[in-house]
Chain A
Amino acid sequence: MSGEPILMLYSVHKSFGGVEAVRDLTLSICAGHIYGLIGPNGAGKTTVFNLITGVYPCDLGSIRMADKELTQLKPHQIVRLGLARTFQTIRLFANLTTWEHVRVGQSQSTRPGGRGIFSLDRAHKKRLKEEAHRILDLLGLWEVRFRKASTLPYGIQRKVEIARALGMGPKLLLLDEPAAGLNIQETEDLLKTLGKIYELGITLLIIEHDMRVIMGLCRHIFVLNFGQKIAEGTPDQIRVNEQVIEAYLGKEE
C-alpha cells in the first residue's frame, strides 16, 4: 500500500459496562484510498467512528492523526484536524437550509484565514462561497439549496449530510452506512458521488452493509466481529477469508 498513514489506531479498547465493544483494535489508514469497515450487526463499527471522533473516550490505546494524539482532545478539536463524518441515522439541523448546512460545515474550517468570527477577508469569503457552490453541484443539490434540509426526501438528506461534511474540507471522511435506506437507483448514484469525492483527493472510510458499495469501491477492507478485527485485505482476499465467512454465515457443522 502506498501513501503515508493519516490515521492510526493502536490497540484501542472500549467497554460499556461489561460489554467489550472494541477490543485491541489496531488499524492504519493511508492517504488517497477508499477503505471499508464491515462486520455483522453489533460488531462495534459505529463505536470505532465514535472513538475516532472523540464522542466516547477510549479506555486504552492510542489514536493518532497527523502526529497528534486524538484521545486527549475534544470532538471539535479532533474534527478541525481534517476529519469529517456522517451518521448512521441522518442527523441534519432541523431549521437550516441545504446551503446553510454546507456553510455551517465551512464555518470552522482550518484552512488559512478560515477561522475567526467576523472574518473581513473578502477574497476568502468569496472562495468559500464558490467552494460551497462546487460542493452542491458535485452532489446535485444546487436545485434544493434554499429548501429546509429536514423537509427533503430521505435520499437527498443523505447527500446533504455528505455536503455538510465536505464543507469542512476534510482530509479523511468517515461515512456511516451511506447507502442505508437507499433504493438501487440512489445507491448507484451514491457510488458515483463517492467516486468523485475520492477523485478530489479525500480519503474515505466507509461503514456499509451493502456489499455492492464495499466490493465496488474499497481498495482495502477491515472486518470487525465482536469488537475485534478478524481480517483485513483487498475485496478479493476478504471474499474468500474463512473467518469472515464464518462471522457472517456461521460455522458449518
Chain B
Amino acid sequence: MSSYYLDLFSAMGINILLALSVYSPLATGQLSIGNAGFMAIGAYVSAMLTVHLHLPLFPSLIAGGVFAGVVGVLVGFPALRIKGIFLAMVTLAFGEIVRNFFLNFLTSLTGGAYGFRGIGNRPVSLFWIWGCVAFFLILFFFLSRSRLGLTMMATHDDDTVSELIGINVVHLKVGSFGLGALIAGIAGGLYAHYYLYLEPEFFNVWQSIHMVLYVIMGGMLTFWGPVLGASIFTLLPESLRFLQDWRGAFFGAFIIGLMIARPSGLLTREILRLDFWLPGRRGNLG
C-alpha cells in the first residue's frame, strides 16, 4: 500500500474510534464536545510512558486510555446534574482546560507549545489502529444486542422514566461517559504513536466538534452511524481534491444537504433492521 493510502486508512481508523467515543455518552443522552481533551490525555500520557519510561507500546496505550477513562468518570459525576446544551458547554470548557494544561504544565516532559518530539521508538502501524477499531466494534456490537444496550437507549429517550423502571441511571450515564473518554484516550495514544508528534493546539475545540459531526452525520441511534460518518468524513474530502479551491465550500454544502435530507443521520435503526427490507412485512405490521 502506498503511504498515501496508509495515512488515509490510519486517519480513518482513528476517526472511527473518536466517533465512537462521542457516541458512547450520546447513547445515554449526554452530548460531549470536549472529547479532544480526553484524546489529549491519552496521547500525552501514553507518549510520556514510551518516551520517558521506555515502556512498551501496548501497556502505554492501555494506560493512556484508562487514565483518560478515569478522568472521564470524574468529570461524568458532576456532569450528571447538567443536561443538554449546558452539559455541552461544560465539556467544551473541560477540553479547553486540558489543552491549556498541556500548553503550560509538564513542559519539560512534553515540550509544551514547542510540541512533543521524539516519539519515534515504538510507532504504531495500520494493524494496531484497525485492531483497536475491530475490538471496539465487537464490543459495541454485543452491547447493542444486550439488555445493557437497551437500557442505554431507554435512558437516552427519557432518564426519569428509566429510573422508575429500575435502571440505575447514575451508573449508566457515568459509565458510558467514562467508556467514551477511554476510547478517546486510546485513539489519542494511537495518534501520538502514528504521527510521532504532538502539540496542544491540535486538541482544540475544532477537533471535538469534528467528532460530534461524524456521529450526527452518520446517525446517533446505532453504533454503525458513527462508523459510517467517520469513514465518509475521512474519505470524502480526499476524493474531492479535484474541486481544488471549491473543495471546502462543496463539503460544507454537502453537510447542509445531508442534514436536510436525513435529519436523523444517514443510518437509522429502521434501516438496519432486517425486516425493513422484506417486502410486505412492514405493511402487515402497519
Contact = CB atoms under 8 A, between A and B. Distances in A.
Most buried by A among B146, B164, B269: B164
B221 interface: yes
Interface stretch (B66-74, B149-157, B199-207): B149-157
B269 A95 contact: yes
A209 interface: no
Interface string A62-97: 000000000000111001100011010001111110
A174 B156 CA distance: 24
Given A144-B285, A146-B275, A146-B285, A76 B150 contact: no
B258 interface: no
Contact of A55 (B148, B156, B164): B164
B272 to A, nearest CB: 13
Interface string B245-283: 000000000000000000000000110010100000000
B165 interface: yes
Interface residues of B, number: 27
A132 to B, nearest CB: 12
B157 A93 contact: yes
Contact of B166 (A76, A95, A96, A143): A76
A110 B275 CA distance: 32
Given A95-B269, A107-B150, A146-B285, A75 B163 contact: yes
A219 interface: no
Contact of B169 (A76, A85, A110): A76
Contacts of A165: 165
B168 interface: yes
B158 A103 contact: no
- The secondary-structure label for the interface of chain A is loop
A91 B157 CA distance: 10
Contacts, number: 81
Contacts of A107: 147, 150-151, 165-167
A168 B157 contact: no
Given A93-B153, A96-B153, A53 B147 contact: no
B285 A147 contact: yes
Interface string A130-151: 0000000000000110111000
Contact of A108 (B156, B158, B166): B166
A137 B165 CA distance: 21
Contacts of B109: none
Contacts of B158: 91-94
Interface string A188-211: 000000000000000000000000
Nearest to A150: B157
A95 B221 contact: yes
Contacts of B148: 117-118
B55 interface: no
B169 A119 contact: no
A87 B166 contact: no
Interface string B180-218: 000000000000000000000000000000000000000
B164 A103 contact: no
A53 B157 contact: no
Which 10 pairs show the lowest CB-CB distances between chains A and B? A108-B166, A93-B157, A107-B147, A75-B163, A94-B157, A80-B166, A79-B166, A104-B154, A117-B148, A91-B161
5 contacts: A103-B147, A104-B165, A109-B166, A110-B166, A146-B275
Interface of A: 53, 55, 74-76, 79-80, 84-85, 87, 91-96, 100, 103-105, 107-110, 117-119, 143-144, 146-148, 164-165, 168
